[in-house]
Structure 1
């Protein structure tokens, strides 16, 4: 595993790689696009398992502005909003694939949550990318009517109205002595039976610059993610595996049923796994993804 910082669509970005996806002599490459928050560290266990089981070079990319990076200019939202909204995130991911991933390689794309929506948008207007595809895995995908979901209604109807207060909370937490913050995080991890090393990842999320971008993108998702991208779905119907959770407040099973009506040729599966699968079900999810990728090698 290697941590790299590359500039994508003018924003310095933390990318995690396995093998050498940027120079692998045309070997197939897996590209994993995270959900929101787009902090790639949360996907390390998932990627570890996937790289180990497939042997393929792999790259995890989060979202522009969703990580702590050395370049301070990459953390400024005001005047650069277009770099951090959904359109900016599409350009961000496209530049990674076009400018960094080995140009001779075929691709296995994985999208989690909003990462799935981004994949469909990438494919809609980029035929060259579609031609490079060997498989697509959409994990707990938020593809339509996000604002109408249970979590969407809470975010849009409550949290969004308290935006300035929430930002203030991020600042106040940031001003607390680090020993207190780490102690509080340790209690949270213990209560929810999560690994202690997640403390480092949560500290990144609690950074005010990161939290600001996470919320900014979330609001944009509420406004933009409304109808299924049927055009893109039809392009990749034979290459795509879609996994839904039976209890998902971002992507309810009824949305899976809607997707099936549009395109019954997709491979689909219902599982009893949380939407944020990376917290407790990385290995189980990686196994399902690996099995599908191997059918497309």
Structure 2
């Protein structure tokens, strides 16, 4: 019999426009947005996730972390910084946890994000801020239509200058800070980690997978044989969800 689990999906702070009646993080007994240093940066994003889990997940609930791309890096550091959280496993999908700027995509993204992002800020505020929401919605709809991607959610935040600026800022920090693999964290938590690498992932070259297998031969480290791309959410989300659901249902202890 298959199990059912509650799911919490946590956006990166600043990647969507927060309603005026809400704060980025409501945590009266924990760190809130004002107390987290540089909340839109890599450090702040990690603390943001920890504060959410401590505040909004009921006490005593065992946690399974699922991180994609830099979310895998964040998941590792949640484990490291918050050992009190009852995390029983973490699935790290297409994990960008090392040498991001050296990857094929990183070599292109690094100068854009680190040197030219201020041009993006200026351009977005000049041209996107005054643009009516209906036009933004139409543009996004047409782009997603070309990609054969359907969404029931409003995605106009993608073209909000505030969100674009935060995404570019976080991306620049990733290029600078995600360099050396955190082997001490991985070694400490290896039994509760599952890594899933792509065969043709320009953010995580296959050499990164091979290095992981060599350095942690006893780990749960897999290479995708299904041709799923790094950005699986754009067309392979059902396949990826089925793989993770199978892992959860069939491989994790029930106690």
Is residue 201–residue 230 contact of structure 2 (8 Å, CA) maintained in 1?
A: yes
Structure 1 residue 147: Cα displacement: 0.8
Is residue 67–residue 75 contact of structure 2 (8 Å, CA) maintained in 1?
A: yes
Alignment-derived partner of residue 26 in structure 1: none
Does the C-alpha gap of structure 1 residues 218 and 158 become closer, same or farther in structure 2, counting only changes over 3 Å?
closer
Residues 39-118 of structure 1: pairs in structure 2 closer than 5 A: 54-71=3-20, 82-118=38-74
Is residue 121–residue 229 contact of structure 1 (8 Å, CA) maintained in 2?
A: no
Alignment-derived partner of residue 111 in structure 2: 157
Structure 1 residue 224: Cα displacement: 0.7
What's the Cα RMSD here? Answer: 2.2
Structure 1 residue 176: Cα displacement: 2.2
TM, length-normalised to structure 1:
0.74
Is residue 260–residue 266 contact of structure 1 (8 Å, CA) maintained in 2?
A: yes
Alignment-derived partner of residue 196 in structure 2: 243
1:244-270 per-position Cα deviation (integer Å, ceiling 9, x unaligned): 111111112111111122212222222
**Which whole-Å CA distance do the structure 1 matches of 2:151 and 2:87 have between them?**
37
What are structure 1's unaligned runs of at least 5 residues? Answer: 1-52
Alignment-derived partner of residue 176 in structure 2: 223
Structure 1 residue 236: Cα displacement: 2.3
SS in 2 for 1:128: coil
Alignment-derived partner of residue 146 in structure 1: 100
Does the C-alpha gap of structure 1 residues 239 and 81 become closer, same or farther in structure 2, counting only changes over 3 Å?
closer
What are structure 2's unaligned runs of at least 5 residues? Answer: 25-32
Alignment-derived partner of residue 82 in structure 2: 126
Structure 1 residue 137: Cα displacement: 0.4
Is residue 85–residue 216 contact of structure 1 (8 Å, CA) maintained in 2?
A: yes
Structure 1 residue 211: Cα displacement: 0.8
**Which whole-Å CA distance do the structure 2 matches of 1:215 and 1:189 have between them?**
21
**Which whole-Å CA distance do the structure 2 matches of 1:183 and 1:67 have between them?**
18
**Which whole-Å CA distance do the structure 1 matches of 2:6 and 2:174 have between them?**
30
**Which whole-Å CA distance do the structure 2 matches of 1:232 and 1:268 have between them?**
15
**Which whole-Å CA distance do the structure 2 matches of 1:248 and 1:284 have between them?**
17
Does the C-alpha gap of structure 1 residues 196 and 102 become closer, same or farther in structure 2, counting only changes over 3 Å?
closer
Is residue 230–residue 262 contact of structure 1 (8 Å, CA) maintained in 2?
A: no
One of 114, 136, 139 as aligned partner of 1:184: 139
**Which whole-Å CA distance do the structure 2 matches of 1:178 and 1:69 have between them?**
16
SS in 1 for 2:190: coil
Structure 1 residue 72: Cα displacement: 8.5
Instruction: Please say which of residues 254-263 and 188-197 is displaced more in the overlay.
Output: 188-197
